[in-house]
Amino acid sequence: MAARRLPLILGLLGLPWLIAACFPPLNHDSAAVLTWAQRMVAGERLYIDLIDVNPPMIFWLNLPPAAVAGWIGLPAPLLLVLWYAALSLGGVMLALPFLPRVLPEGARWGLLTAAVGALLILPAHSFTQREHLLLALALPYLLHALARAEGLKAPSMMATAALFAVAVCLKPHFLALPAGVEAYLLVQRGLRTSLRDPVIAVMVGIGLAYLAAVVWLTPAYFQTILPMMAELYTSAGTDWGHLLLGDQVPPLILGGLILGGIGWKHGPAPRLLLIFTLAATVAGVTQLKGWDYHFVAARGGLLLLAGWTFGHWLKRPAVAVSAAFALSLGYASLTAPPFAAQRRFAATPEAKLGQMMAQAVPHASVLWFTTSLKPQFSLVQALGQRYIGHYMSLWPLPELYPPEAPHVLNPIARSEGVERQVIDATAADLARRPDLIVVTEGASEPGFGGQPWDHLTYFGRDPRIAEALKAYRPIGKVDGWTLYQRTP
């Protein structure tokens, strides 16, 4: 295999997964954020008309594809995938010229092949999740970190640092990654060199500018969202045994330490990749949920480390590419079979519900009574619907009425705080007269732990909501969802 053909081969190997990501269903979290961005483009205000607990960076990053979709009429999910792919590819292209100077040929191609696997194959249905974007924008910064460890400098390092800083701003938990990488470089190069490194100044500057922008542009985040989170989350417990000993953390720690230990004496590359993997694992753990997608960046880091290891020991580029690609496929198959979400979507209950909704009212305005983000936002994007709710979901309800406690409802007249806000927002949503509403059975929702919960009974205690609900009739039921249509 001629070395000059390897870039083309890598592109062709990753292309099927990029194409598959353009087909429905879009990841439900990504679809929810994209829906909020589209409504922002239409003039609605984040944290006032559109309530969510995520910091604003992810919504701002979604504004370009949301705006372009409105201008030219192409599907917003397609443009979102292409937008993130362009950001990722642009960053990597800035860092590639340094790789021949810091990595031998075999290790270089093993690492690049693993990068294709980490960014396109391994994420599966978590493609476009924030952790996936973190990995994509961290990769060029990480490649430049290898060059910085060798004392190399270039203006392009400022650009990749800026992209990475934007990704870190998505969640405060992501600060573990630059902290780990820069701490290693501090030890490697010494304090004086690190203090003079403009990369650190760029990242700190972007972080401070972002904080100032949040204060200036979205003050409601501090005035409304953080108090709401404090009210609902202060009593939330964490199952540390499940979090630390479940199916996510141990393989990452064990695999990273084994591969990192094997390659530790062979220079900065395996050390930085190990540190990145461990820091990304810490970022996943500190989110206190143990959800699979919280560890997308950590699994990607482990695959990068494995790709470098294969390439380092196999030496020959063609063999390194073949081995790293096979490893990517094998690793991805253990976590999520390739193309599974796209292949199975048409036969899912979600797709059947979507067909029912499209037949009832094409391009309808919709409101969901559910504590989840799945599947409503994937369907909203696939069907071109308009979601009109203030909240992405009714997630505060399980926090107010935890499944382990008896569901003794607070008197509607004495409801206050977040509960009053949710009820008032729901009344306002129904006043917009959505064409369709979907009600999820509480027992089928994760938030209520299988305990009975009737959304319509709960909200129907409010006279405004009870009156609005009289205009709707049930027209079908799929799995745990009941579809209602507004009568003329």
Structure confidence by residue, pLDDT tens digits, 295-345: 999 999 999 999 999 999 998 988 999 999 999 999 988 887 778 888 889
| Cα 347-353-356 angle, rounded to 5 deg | 115
Counting residues of the chain whose pLDDT is more than 90, the rounded percentage is 79
For 31-83, where are the E strands, in sequence order?
none
Assign 414 a pLDDT band (cuts: 50, 70, 90). confident
Q: Are 427 and 466 in contact (CB under 8 A)?
A: no
**Encoded amino acid at 292, one letter:** D
**Mean pLDDT over residues 152-161, rounded?**
94
pLDDT of residue 182: 97
* Composition of the chain by helix, strand, coil, percent to 5: 70, 5, 25
When the pLDDT of each residue in the chain is averaged and rounded to a whole number, the result is 92
Confidence band of 241 (pLDDT split at 50, 70, 90): confident
Q: Give the pLDDT confidence of 15-59 residue by residue, as tens digits.
A: 999 999 999 999 999 999 999 999 999 999 999 999 999 999 999
pLDDT of 236 strictly over 60: no
Mean pLDDT of 272-292: 95
At residue 1, the pLDDT reads 47
Say if residue 449's pLDDT is above 80.
no
Nearest to 223 by CA among 431, 421, 428, 425: 421
Q: Per the structure block, which two tokens stand in for 358?
A: 């499209």
Closest CA to 396 of 230, 238, 218, 170: 230
**Mean pLDDT across 77-96:** 95
Q: List phi, psi (to 5°) of 365.
A: -90, 135
